[in-house]
Amino acid sequence: MANKDFDKENFSMIAIVAIVAIVAIVVLIMSVSAGFGKASAISIGNYPTQSSSRVGLATATMLCGDALVEPGEQCDPTMSGTSIPCSTFSNNFTGTVTCDASTCKFITKRCTGFRGGYCGDGFVEVNNSADLAEQCDDAIGIDGRTCATFGFTGEGTLACTNCLYDTSRCTNTIPTPPKYCGDGIVQKPNDGGVNELCEGWQYIGRCADLGPYTSGNVTCNPEQCVYDLRYCY
């Protein structure tokens, strides 16, 4: 009888240990799964690795070297006029400064002018005591310069911020595309004053529907953008 009681007690202990072990394994599996979930959210900068396209969006707003002077830039090394007189920045500067290919900005340290001083002292220094190549001075402001000074064609406001010209609020006027026969759009009129009827090698319809014809098809004359009746009979 005592052996039976002992076996029951052993069985109960084994069952409890097994249950505890199973619970511990379940908790461990859940912890590992949660860890993998967190690992998948490891980020580069401020963006998750799964959303690399968002990183592209963050950097695509200004692309130095794309043959456009965009807000935030002062020049583009692939365009003409990338070398300008240093006096563009200050009447006290002499020499010529070239567009920096890595920043799309002008580095006035290559100009000849005042040195030393500090930003906000009322003077524009080519290299101040903080090793900053100034372009303007916060105490003076833009001093008659505008967005057009840096090649912008639209409206906007040029600023002098921390002794550097800030073009982030400058804009460019988007030119109106030309209207011509062959541009894929039926223009009425186009830039030549012609009211186009069609575009390209376009099928128009049956000749019998357009005039005193009994057979043939009407197409578009791609060079004049008018109906071609040569195949109507």
Both tokens of 157, joined, read: 């406001």
More confident residue, 143 or 33: 143
Span 45-104, pLDDT tens digits = 222 222 222 222 223 356 888 888 999 999 998 887 688 999 999 999 999 999 999 999
Q: Which of 144, 128, 137 is nearest to 160 (CA)?
A: 137
Average confidence score pLDDT of the chain: 79
CB-side neighbour CA atoms (13 Å) of 87: 4
Cα 186–chain centre separation: 32
- Global pTM reads 0.53
| pLDDT tops 50 at residue 17 | yes
Rounded CA-CA distance 190/188 in Å is: 6
CA dist 33 to 19, 30, 42, 46, 58, Å? Answer: 21, 5, 15, 24, 32
pLDDT at 66: 87
Tokens 């064609």 correspond to 153
Where does the pLDDT of residue 120 fall: very low under 50, low under 70, confident under 90, or very high at 90 and above?
Answer: very high
Cα 78–chain centre separation: 17
Burial of 76 from C-beta contacts in 10 A (0-12 / 13-18 / 19+): buried
SS3 (DSSP) at 170:
strand
Average pLDDT for 31-44: 34
CA dihedral sign of residues 187, 192, 194, 198: negative
